[in-house]
Amino acid sequence: MANSSIATVDLSPFFIDGNEDGKKAAMEVISRACSEYGFFQIVNHGIPNDLILRAFELSKKFFSCPVEEKLKFGPELGAPVPAGYNNLDGNKEYLLICAPGTSFNVLPTNPLEFQRTLEELFICYAKTGQLVEGIINDCLGLPRNILKANNNDRRGDILFAFDYPPAETEAVEFGTPEHQDISCFTFVCQYDVAGLEVRKDGVWIGLNPTEGALVVNVGDVIQVIQAPLVTFISSYTRLMYLLMLNVYDPKNYFQVLSNNKFKSAFHRVVRPKGKHRYSSVFFYNLHGDKWVEPLPQFTSEIGKLPKYRGFLHKDYLELRLRQRIQPPLTPEERIRVTHYAIPS
């Protein structure tokens, strides 16, 4: 595993009228990063650093509480999404936070200011997602704000606060195995302990924490076709949640929409030796049951053949979840997005 850094992009030009040169330079870096491996890092993104640090300090205090205390803030019985405190197989503890105002949100009251801080952080992450969505839209040369216009309901976004306990052996232990994300975008903020790794050209690259920076992963889903929104927190949203926690070896929808112009990297989390690893992860999600296919800007309009046939996003998620319940006998039987690939 190599220690390295990924492209870092200063987003400050996007908060100032003018400075077109700064915006152009940032977009060039993002386009190159997405074309190569789908990860980049952003600074001056609009989320106050003191808010990020306060959320981490409060997370540490909460996760250090006795288990009995933390379990008081577990998911409500029958909730469509298990918002609140969860412990997954001993590999990590986490808080799952839905949009502020969600009826089944379970937010800790110990420390007292934790709830307010998490809700404020959620709102800031969502605003950053809208900014990055617009930048990616322009990087792809799509009509202005087309992605935003078709994905403007933020009620299904999800924020995680993670605590990865120290590794118990000298062997490499994974807090989260190799996977790709199902969201439109994922934002990862590491505290002071590394562990996030991305695979590029067959080599795992460790990403060291940088104060105030967010790692951005262009995920599996980008909405581009207008369709009616499904009912909030429907079975569709539950599918999204289940697959976000357990995703293995999918290709991504972003590759489908861009006809393989942009890529998405595999990544994983390694449990640290001798230290807890804290991170916050925000999933900027797709909403609604949408038709997914390569956009004409990357096919017919430039004389290219589509590399994928169209499909309903929900149908693919249901196939994936079915295989989670009844795993295939061989790796070759796994349903991936390549299931929809058109033979060349």
- The pLDDT value given to residue 243: 47
Q: Three-state secondary structure along 172-198?
A: CCEEEEEECCCCCEEEEEECCCCCEEE
Phi, psi of 211 (to 5 degrees): -60, 130
- The pLDDT value given to residue 153: 74
Quick one: tokens of 34?
A: 């997405």
At 197-247, the pLDDT tens digits run 776 777 777 778 788 899 888 764 432 222 322 333 344 444 444 444 443
Q: What is the CATH number of the domain that holds 235?
A: 2.60.120.330
Q: Max CA-CA distance within the chain?
A: 62
Which H or E element spans position 277? Answer: strand 277-284
- The pLDDT value given to residue 113: 93
- The pLDDT value given to residue 149: 74
- The pLDDT value given to residue 275: 84
Contacts 24+ apart (CB under 8 A), 302-308: 304/259, 305/342, 306/259, 306/342, 307/256, 307/259, 307/260, 307/341, 307/342, 307/344, 308/256, 308/259, 308/337, 308/340, 308/341, 308/342
pLDDT in tens, the chain (344 residues): 455 568 899 999 999 998 999 999 999 999 998 888 778 999 999 999 999 999 999 999 999 999 999 999 999 988 877 899 998 667 789 999 999 999 999 999 877 899 999 999 999 999 999 999 999 889 888 888 877 776 777 877 889 999 888 777 665 556 555 555 455 678 988 887 666 777 677 777 777 878 889 988 876 443 222 232 233 334 444 444 444 444 333 335 566 777 777 766 676 777 777 788 888 999 887 665 667 788 888 899 999 999 888 887 777 767 766 665 576 767 667 666 778 889 88
- The pLDDT value given to residue 143: 85
- DSSP conformation class of 72: T
Domain count, the chain: 1
51: left (phi over 0), alpha (psi -120 to 50) or beta: alpha
- The pLDDT value given to residue 230: 30
Q: Judge whether 209 and 280 are in contact, CB under 8 Å.
A: no
pTM: 0.80
DSSP-derived secondary structure for 76-118 = PTT-SS--EEEEETTTEEEEEE-STT-TT-----SSTTHHHHH
| Domain of residue 52, residue span | 2-340
Query: Per DSSP, which regions of 31-88 are E strands?
Result: 39-43, 84-88
Q: Judge whether 217 and 265 are in contact, CB under 8 Å.
A: yes
Residue among 159, 190, 206, 177 nearest 277 (CA): 190
C-alpha span between 231 and 234 (Å, rounded): 6
